[in-house]
């Protein structure tokens, strides 16, 4: 058998290694089809990234960069696509699209939303986008069935329309507050905050029993510290005559509200909507994973720095991440800013100060996966409100009622 002289073999090996190193170093400049002709495995893309990451010869530039692949970020990306814009990208530090509307499936087969979400809308464009993500056959349609748990009683939502379900003493307190309110003024005075708004609308009885304690638990701040401009159709207003009729007949009034009918994906949770929507955007535009987390925003040079070390240049920046995170990224970027604007509108210290002053609330989401069946009184229930302070949580959702595949066979998820 013929043999190769070791020095010659070493030279061949060195030449091949040098060729591969140079090839991979310059491969980001080559089209994928060129790499394919050489039969390179997908791993080559990772090798190329490793070789080229420390030194970025050319900085990628985009007309629009979107930070965050949640509903807002993906919606903006869809609009750009509809307008045939091509110079844009989406960056998100999570491994999956969806932001706070993402869903996860655990090792036992239970699907969980990051929170409890349902889909309802009176905007045709939004409805069309939902159909784009998941076609009509992929949705369940539900009639809302929700209750407020107070003093051992289950009061159908909206609470103020169904106070006849309360124990006698609380029922009389709530009704008396409504009657006194009606006698005092036909048109409530303008409210300066959310607490004034619901007290003016529903009376002190309903405010004390439900509205004040529930909203304090929900928002984690006193309702008096909140504005009321956002309320709109989110809170049912009062029809005293109808409430008295419900009491006389013992009838529940549950049909009010924009979410009286809602829909939910048959599979994948709410996050399935946004994973599907991301997959329908042009390939290679949505970049997910920790290495794509934005850690610095330089508004002077209009440059973003990613956690992986790469930098991108933008003309317009759309951010859907929390404001405090954006301000801290701006602070990092401004500290290293150089270029045309000697006096940017904000400096790094101001950005950090503003970030520290922002108030926000956080929520712990606890998923309980159980064997068995749903109790009969919760068989068709959607979500339940718990305003009383001795109960640590403010809301519970029978999540497996939304879709059978939210739980494995023989399981209940809440």
Task: Please write the tens of the pLDDT for every residue from 169-217.
Answer: 999 999 999 998 877 666 667 889 999 999 988 999 999 999 999 999 9
**Whole-number Cα distances in Å, 166 to 152, 328, 353:** 9, 48, 48
Confidence of residue 341 (pLDDT cuts 50, 70, 90): low
CA gap 303, 333 in Å, rounded: 8
Domains and CATH numbers, the chain: 61-137+265-348 (3.50.50.60), 146-258 (no CATH)
Residue 150 scores a pLDDT above 70: yes
Element counts in the chain: helices (H) and strands (E): 12, 16
Residue 161 scores a pLDDT above 70: yes
**Starting at the edge strand that comes first in sequence, how are the strands of the sheet with 294-298 ordered?**
286-288, 88-92, 60-67, 311-319, 303-306, 294-298
At residue 2, the pLDDT reads 38
Task: Please write the tens of the pLDDT for every residue from 4-41.
Answer: 344 434 444 444 445 555 554 454 444 433 333 343 44
Q: Which helix (H) or strand (E) holds 319?
A: strand 311-319
Task: Please write the tens of the pLDDT for every residue from 39-90.
Answer: 344 443 333 333 333 345 578 999 999 999 999 999 999 999 999 999 999 9
At residue 343, the pLDDT reads 61
Residue 375 scores a pLDDT above 50: yes
Give the other-Cβ count within 10 Å of 408's Cβ.
17
Closest CA to 202 of 170, 222, 224, 176: 176
At residue 245, the pLDDT reads 85
Which pair of structure tokens corresponds to residue 43? 């791993």
Give the rounded percent of residues in the chain with a pLDDT score beyond 70. Answer: 82
Average pLDDT over residues 245-259: 80
Query: 3-state class of 139 per DSSP?
Result: strand
Half-sphere exposure of 115 (CA within 13 A, CB side): 12
At residue 331, the pLDDT reads 95
CA gap 383, 399 in Å, rounded: 8
Task: Please write the tens of the pLDDT for every residue from 275-321.
Answer: 999 999 999 999 999 999 999 999 999 999 999 899 999 999 999 99
Confidence of residue 243 (pLDDT cuts 50, 70, 90): confident
Closest CA to 126 of 72, 88, 180, 166: 72
Rounded to two decimals, the pTM is: 0.79
At residue 233, the pLDDT reads 63
């Amino acid at each position: 058998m013929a043999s190769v002289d070791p020095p010659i073999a070493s030279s061949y090996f060195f030449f091949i290694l040098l060729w591969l190193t140079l090839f991979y170093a310059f491969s980001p400049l080559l089209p994928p089809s060129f790499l394919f002709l050489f039969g390179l495995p997908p791993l080559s893309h990772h090798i190329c990234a490793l070789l080229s990451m420390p030194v970025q010869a050319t900085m990628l530039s985009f007309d629009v960069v979107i930070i965050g692949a949640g509903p807002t970020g993906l919606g903006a990306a869809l609009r750009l696509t509809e307008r045939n814009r091509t110079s844009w990208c989406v960056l998100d530090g999570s491994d999956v699209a969806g932001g706070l509307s993402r869903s996860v499936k655990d090792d036992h087969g239970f699907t969980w939303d990051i929170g409890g979400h349902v889909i309802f809308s009176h905007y045709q464009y939004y409805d069309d986008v939902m159909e784009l993500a998941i076609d009509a056959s992929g949705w369940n349609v539900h009639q809302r069935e929700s209750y407020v748990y107070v003093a051992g009683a289950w009061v159908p939502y909206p609470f103020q329309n169904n106070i006849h379900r309360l124990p006698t003493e609380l029922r009389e307190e709530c009704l008396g507050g409504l009657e006194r309110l009606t006698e005092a003024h036909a048109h409530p005075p303008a409210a300066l905050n959310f607490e004034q708004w619901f007290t003016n609308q529903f009376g002190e009885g309903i405010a004390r029993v439900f509205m004040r304690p529930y909203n304090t638990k929900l928002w984690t701040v006193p309702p008096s510290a909140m504005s009321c401009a956002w309320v709109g159709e989110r809170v049912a207003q009062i029809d005293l005559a109808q409430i008295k009729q419900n009491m006389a007949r013992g009838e529940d009034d549950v049909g009010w509200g924009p979410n009286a009918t809602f829909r939910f994906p048959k599979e994948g949770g709410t996050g399935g909507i946004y994973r599907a929507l991301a997959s329908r955007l042009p390939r290679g535009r949505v970049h997910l994973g920790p290495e794509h987390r934005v850690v610095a925003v330089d508004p002077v040079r209009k440059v973003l720095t990613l956690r992986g070390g790469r930098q991108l240049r933008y003309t317009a920046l759309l951010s859907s991440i929390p404001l405090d995170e954006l301000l801290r990224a701006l602070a990092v970027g401004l500290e290293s800013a150089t270029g045309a604007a000697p006096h940017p509108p904000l400096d790094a210290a101001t950005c950090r100060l503003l970030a520290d002053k922002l108030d926000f609330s956080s929520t712990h989401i606890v998923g309980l996966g159980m064997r068995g069946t749903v109790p009969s009184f919760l068989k068709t229930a959607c979500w339940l409100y718990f305003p009383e302070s001795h109960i640590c949580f403010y809301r519970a959702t029978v999540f497996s009622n939304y879709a059978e595949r939210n739980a494995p066979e023989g399981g209940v998820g809440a």
